[in-house]
Amino acid sequence: MAKILAVDDSASMRQMVSFTLKGAGHDVVEASDGTEALKYAQGQSVDLVLSDVNMPNMNGIELCRNLRQLPGYKFTPILMLTTESAGDKKMEGKSAGATGWIVKPFNPDQLLTTIKKVLG
Amino acid sequence: MSIDLSQFHQVFFEESYEGLDAMEQGLLDMDMVSPDAEVINTIFRAAHSMKGGAGTFGFTQVAEFTHVLETLLDQIRSGQRAMSQDIQNLLLKSVDCIRQLLQDLQAGNDPDLTESTTLKGQFEEILSGQSPVPATADKSDAPVDDKKEEGGGGWLVRFIPEVTLLQTGNEPARMFRQLADLCDNEMQVSLDTSRLPVFTSLNPEECYLIWEIRIEKTINKEDIEEVFEWVTDDAEIIITPLDAGSAQAPVAETKVTAEQPKIEDVQAKPAGAANPVSTEKAAVKQPAKQQESSSIRVSIDKVDSLINMVGELVITQSMLGQLGQNFDITRVQRLQEGLAQLEHNTRELQESVMKIRMMPISFVFSRFPRLVRDVSISLDKKIDLIMSGENTELDKTVMEKIGDPMVHLIRNSIDHGIEKPADRVAAGKPETGTVHLNAYHQSGNIVIEIKDDGAGLNTDRILQKATEKGLVAEGANLTQEQIFDLIFQPGFSTADVVSDLSGRGVGMDVVRRNIASLNGSIEVSSERGRGSRFVIRLPLTLAILDGQLVKVGEEIYIFPLVSIVESIQLDDRAINNVGGHSDVLQLRDEYVPIVQLDDVFNIEKEKRSIAESIIVVVETDGEKIGVVVDELMGQQQVVIKSLEENYKRVDGISGATILGDGTVALIVDISGLSKMSGTSAKILDGSHKAA
Amino acid sequence: MSAVSEINEHSNMEDDVLTEQYLTFIMADEEYGVDILAVQEIRGWESATPVPNSPRYIKGVINLRGTIVPIMDLRQRFGLEIKEYGEETVVVVLKIFTSTGARTMGIIVDAISDVYDVPIGDAKNRGLGDNQNSNFIKGLVTVKKHMVILLELENLLTIDD
């Protein structure tokens, strides 16, 4: 199945996302902030990036912008995990090259349904 | 797929507590006038993560409360609102409130929402009041196409993407596949290639095609819009009902709702749902009880070093195994080397395992900035808290137990030590007082110092009070240290006015007792007008002790090596009989009371004369006693086992251990022993210094 | 105790009666029973390390696979005549769960006797009066025509000074 890079500074969210995706047969790589994710991405390509927006060191928007600069990530779907109150963040994410977003809070089923939109 | 979200609750609670600590820390450090952007960001992120997690894991109450917090913080972060003392106070209160909510939830209780509702009201007042910008600039609130359009006979969708569409990772083919799923493949897609440039100027990364999709099934327009949700800004999407005719000019702005995607399974719509899923709550109930100290975070380094050592142990073991297979007497030396290696490995492993329980004392220190702030505000005092040595490590259990005594000492320093600003200025001191916390390691102990530059201990007052309370004889001639020591006596309190802070029925005697129960000690030194300094000494771990084995009759007892001053063998002449019954030993310029261990412990044995015995001079709480035993045996490290667990507390005994031969030996509690033997009363008669 | 508890002279159980199993032992010609679920193990007498200032009936503590376990002389606890420990002397290690947590303790008895099924509620607390030991006794049952004294472990294993 797909290889997915999950980026979130919250360990519980990361675990939940990762557990859900692995349960659906995906291969998941976890990163706790943008810097860590970018470092991984520089060496590896993935089929999908799921990233939180608010993170220390490098936030999701910056991560997205940086990923789009990498040749291997030009067309890779990047979904931002955002909250409903962050309307303008969505726009900012889009302009940074994000593919779409998943609105928090979400449950495992919602997550799986949403990522189907961009996989395969 | 059904996933039990409760399995992530514990992690959520832990990270939320950490987040709250970070928020508290950030708030306390904050410079009101020009707050550091990164500090505000950190606070915001903590609130934000908590809200996201709480929503996801079904803790609606927390999610709703953190939402208002986050909104306010976001305004501060984006510079729309200035930070103020009031906001700081409100946020700090909220930190406490959320912590309480989480603790309740973790324990499986229904949280009390009174406080959070009040605070939430205050937030909303701030937010609605002079909000510079409408509180939540949320696009999702924008009205969606009001006209309910019925696509009675299907829809015609014209999809005109920007040429850059692909660069956001969006792929038209996937959207069409989704549409096809929606309408059970009852659709036709036609391609408009009019935008295609000539081949030579074609950029393969751009999207020149335009699609027209004819959906021949009755489906909701919203569902179609949802398919294109992510590309509304990257494409022109024109959706017209089929029966209305494709010629009709379509409504250009097809706003798409940004609400969470609708999914058939509404079983756990977390944040909005009226009641959190009750089965999840039930599931956390049980493990929550003991969570306080049941887990520990260990750095990878420590784990790696353990793995290395186990590796070495395995090598040694296989070496010894081989040796054993064809052993003859010529190989004795190899065997001895192997056993020495094994011992070395075991000791290293033991040390490393112990290190796992070690955590930096910053876990305790971190709660003090808040304490000092709150207490100093309530007392109208100005105080700087300086902390150093926060990374000094100590055993987790010791750490959990040292927090309360330290809180008491710090409150005390602020309450009784540091003077009011005016008094300080009058005394020629800076207006702002200083409380300094320091921690460091010293010969197998951790030392914690609490130092203030306040008024210092008033020896006259202490002595007067102690005399009144009958703790010390009238006209007794005490040294300064002995007077200072009086504040640790039960029933002693100097504060004339029982303030809100001290005088809670917890005296310094309790502080000393708590510290003693950790095998530690506390000392105070002070200078009038310059300040006081409390020094707490604690063993690094409660699990292991360096012991001196002694024999009394047939029994072996263990003395903690740290409390032994010296061991001496004397003739009878060195012992003086005081008042007909209690013996004292003249040790250089001091008289040391003598305790017969067999008397105190009721050990049946033949009496020996002092000359045939050994006197172990031990020191506890700053006083010495000489304990008479029959024999000194070896010194060794012993693992401390609880005697209380299956039996009860025994005076004079702090625990038990298992010796090499499998038998049990008891560990002597020196300060308890000193109390039992009744020697502690003697120090107050002022006569125990040799003339 | 329930109304069913007319003392059964024939405690051989019908299948539909709920029963508890008791391990019994002999002490001064009396048979005593303890709830078998509390019995951890039975071991021979070995010397224990005396604990200072303990009641006389506490003989000391032993090392039971790394835990420190106190040993109580039941004869002395009941104020019976002291008997020298011999080869038959056994220590029954009991583990009970109290409000303050689990507690393990060994009791020294003369000899182990048997295991009986006793219907729940069958024990009669009769004629014990205010005897100082009545606290330690849950009740009496008659098994195979002789009396067995069932012990109340929580009280028995609580050491007061």
Tens of pLDDT, residue by residue over B495-510, are 544 444 444 445 788 8
Residue A40 touches partner B, C-beta closer than 8 Å: no
Query: Nearest CB to C61: which of B601, B647, B662?
Result: B647
Q: Helices B85-106 and B9-29 sit at what angle, rounded to 10 degrees?
A: 160
- Comparing CB atoms, the residue among B1, B8, B167 nearest residue A112 is B1
Q: If 0-12 CB within 10 Å is exposed, 13-18 middle and 19+ buried, where does residue C155 land?
A: middle
A touches C, CB cut-off 8 Å, minimum 3 pairs: no
- Between A104 and A39, the more confident residue is A39
> Is B267 part of a structural domain of the chain?
no
Contacts of B137 (CB under 8 A, 6+ apart): A87, A88
Q: Which amino acid is at B416?
A: H
Residues C63-73 have a mean pLDDT of: 90
CATH of the domain at C148: 2.40.50.180
In this structure, the answer to whether residues B23 and B122 fall within a common structural domain is yes
Could you tell me which CATH class the domain A3-116 is placed in?
Answer: alpha beta
Mean pLDDT: which of A78-92, B32-46, B95-109, B500-514 is highest? B95-109
The residue whose two tokens read 């304490």 is: B371
Are B83 and B170 members of one domain? no
Chain B nearest-CA distance from A115, in A, is 11
Q: Is C26 on the interface with B (CB under 8 A)?
A: no
Tell which wins on pLDDT, A93 or B42: B42
Residues of B in contact with C69 (CB under 8 A): 646
Helices and strands: H and E segment counts in chain B: 19, 22
C-alpha distances in Å from residue B148, one per residue of B155, B178, B216, B242, B554 = 14, 23, 19, 15, 96
- CATH, residue B202: 3.30.70
d(C-alpha B365, C-alpha B360), whole Å = 9
Same domain, B108 and B213: no
List all residues of chain C from 97 to 126 with a beta carbon under 8 Å from chain B.
101, 103-105
For the stretch B398-416, pLDDT in tens is: 888 888 889 888 988 888 8
Provide the 8-state DSSP code for C114: E
Q: Do B658 and C66 touch (CB under 8 A)?
A: yes
H/E segment holding residue B342: helix B332-356
Question: What pLDDT sits at residue B267?
Answer: 41
B266-272, Cβ contacts within 8 angstroms, sequence gap of 24 or more: B267/A107, B267/A109, B268/A107, B268/A109, B268/B5, B268/B58, B269/A107, B270/A105, B270/A106, B270/A107, B270/B55, B270/B56, B270/B57, B270/B58, B270/B60, B270/B63, B271/A105, B271/B55, B271/B60, B271/B63, B271/B64
**CB contact (8 A) between residue C63 and residue B662:** yes
Tell me whether strands A27-31 and A3-7 are parallel, antiparallel or unpaired. parallel
Whether B562 and B644 map to the same domain: the answer is yes
Chain B hits for A12, CB-CB cut-off 8 Å, are: 8-9, 11-12, 15, 53, 56-57
pLDDT, one tens digit per residue, over B349-388 is: 877 887 787 888 988 898 888 889 888 888 888 899 999 9
Domain that holds residue B341: 300-356
Look at residue C13 and tell me if it is in a domain: no
With b for 16 or more beta-carbon neighbours within 10 A and e for fewer, the B412-449 pattern comes to bbbbbbbbebeebeeeebeeebbbbbbbeeeeebbbbb
**What's residue B664's pLDDT?**
93
Q: How far is B598 from chain C (nearest CA, A)?
A: 9
Dihedral of CA atoms B646, B647, B651, B653 in degrees, nearest 10, equals -50
Mean pLDDT to the nearest integer, B178-197 = 81
Q: Is residue B179 part of a domain?
A: yes
User: Hey, which residues does B192 pair with through a beta bridge?
Assistant: B210
Strands (E) across B259-390 are located at 358-360, 383-388
Interface contact flag, C67 B641, Cβ < 8 Å: yes
Rounded to the nearest 10 degrees, the angle between the axes of helix B396-412 and helix B368-379 is 20
Q: B52 and B20 in one domain?
A: yes
Same domain, B192 and B76: no
| Residue C3 φ/ψ, nearest 5 degrees | -75, -15
Q: Which of B24, B280, B408, B412 is catalytic?
A: B412
Quote the pLDDT of residue B639: 82
Complex confidence, ipTM: 0.84
| Residue B143 main-chain phi, psi, to 5 deg | -60, 135
- What pLDDT is attached to residue B497? 40
Q: Where are the domains of chain A?
A: 3-116
Residue B290 distance to chain C (closest CA, Å): 13
Distance (Å) of CA C22 to CA A86, C18, C40, C116, C149: 68, 13, 13, 5, 10
Dihedral sign (CA B414, B415, B417, B422): positive
Average pLDDT along chain B:
78
**Is the CB of residue C59 less than 8 Å from the CB of residue C109?**
no
Nearest-by-Cβ selection for A113 from B14, B67, B263: B263
Output DSSP code: residue C93.
E
Q: How many Cβ atoms are within 10 Å of B8's Cβ, its own excluded?
A: 21
Q: What is the structure's pLDDT at B239?
A: 84
DSSP three-state, residue B558: strand
* CB nearest to A99's CB, from B55, B169, B263: B169
Does one domain contain both B446 and B548?
A: no
Instruction: State whether B564 and B650 are in the same domain.
Output: yes
CATH number of the domain encompassing residue B30: 1.20.120.160
Six-digit token string for B23: 């928020």
Question: Which residues are bridge partners to B158 per DSSP?
Answer: B212, B238
Q: Nearest residue of C to residue B597 by CA position? A: C52
Q: Report if residue B467 sits inside a domain.
A: yes
Structural domain containing residue C53: 19-156
Q: How many CA within 13 A on the CB side of residue C39?
A: 18
Q: Is B70 a catalytic residue?
A: yes
Q: Point out the domain boundary residue: B539, B559, B593.
A: B539
**Residues B181 and B108 grouped into a single domain:** no
Minimum CA–CA partner of B172 in chain A? A118
Q: B111 and B105 in contact (C-beta within 8 Å)? A: yes
B53 touches chain A (CB under 8 A): yes
Burial of residue B271 (number of CB atoms within 10 Å: 0-12, 13-18, 19+): buried
What tokens does B439 get? 């921690």
One domain, residues B231 and B105: no
Q: Select from A23, A88, A113 the Cβ nearest to the Cβ of B261.
A: A113
Q: How many domains does chain C have?
A: 1
What mean pLDDT is predicted for residues B73-99?
85
Q: C149 lies in a domain?
A: yes
Structure tokens at A1: 């199945």
B57: chain A residues, CB-CB within 8 Å: 12, 16
Per annotation, catalytic residue among B9, B24, B67, B70: B70
Non-local CB neighbours of B494 within 8 Å, separated by 6+ positions: B416, B458, B461, B462, B465, B487
**Which residue type, as a one-letter code, is found at position B538?**
L
How does the average pLDDT of chain C come out, rounded? Answer: 81
Among residues B141, B169, B188, the one where a domain terminates is B141
B48 is catalytic: yes
Q: Of B603, B643, B647, B669, which to mutate for an interface test with C (greatest number of C Cβ within 10 Å)?
A: B647
| CB distance C63 to C91 below 8 Å | no
Judge whether C14 lies within some domain.
Answer: no
Four-residue CA torsion sign, B640, B643, B644, B649: negative
Task: Tell me how far apart the alpha carbons of residues C79 and C94 are, in angstroms, rounded to a whole number.
Answer: 20
- Provide the b/e sequence for B236-248 (b: ≥16 CB within 10 Å): bbbbbbbeeeeee
Top-ranked range on mean pLDDT: pick from B146-160, B225-239, C61-75: C61-75
> Of B48, B408, B416, B688, which is the active-site residue?
B48
Residue contacts between A and B (CB atoms, under 8 Å):
153
Residues in chain B closer than 8 A to A24 (CB atoms): 1
Total domains in the fold of chain B: 5
What was the pLDDT predicted at B280? 39
Q: Quick check: is B530 in a domain?
A: yes
**B25-42: pLDDT as tens digits:** 888 877 777 778 888 888
Amino acid in position B43: I
Mark which residues 62-101 of A lie under 8 Å from B by CB: 68, 74-78, 81, 83-88, 90-91, 94, 97-101
Give the residue ranges of DSSP H helices in B142-207.
172-182
Q: Answer whether B664 sits within 8 Å of C54, measured CB to CB.
A: no
Say if B318 is an interface residue toward chain A (CB within 8 Å).
no
Specify whether B644 is located in the same domain as B613. Answer: yes
Residue C103, min C-alpha distance to chain B (Å): 5
Q: Of B244-258, B346-360, B444-458, C65-79, which range is least confident?
A: B244-258
Query: Which CATH number belongs to the domain containing residue B654 in this structure?
Result: 2.40.50.180
* CB contacts, 8 Å: B643 with chain C: 51, 61, 68
Question: Which residues in chain C have their CB less than 8 angstroms from residue B651's CB?
Answer: 52-53
Tell me which of B72-76, B127-131, B320-324, B378-382 is least confident.
Answer: B127-131
Q: Is A86 helix (H, G, I), strand (E, B) or coil?
A: coil
Give the Cβ contact number of residue A110 at 10 Å.
Answer: 22
Q: Which residue has the tokens 């112990």?
A: B354
The verdict on residue C138 lying in a domain is: yes
For residues B598 and B677, state if they share a domain.
Answer: yes
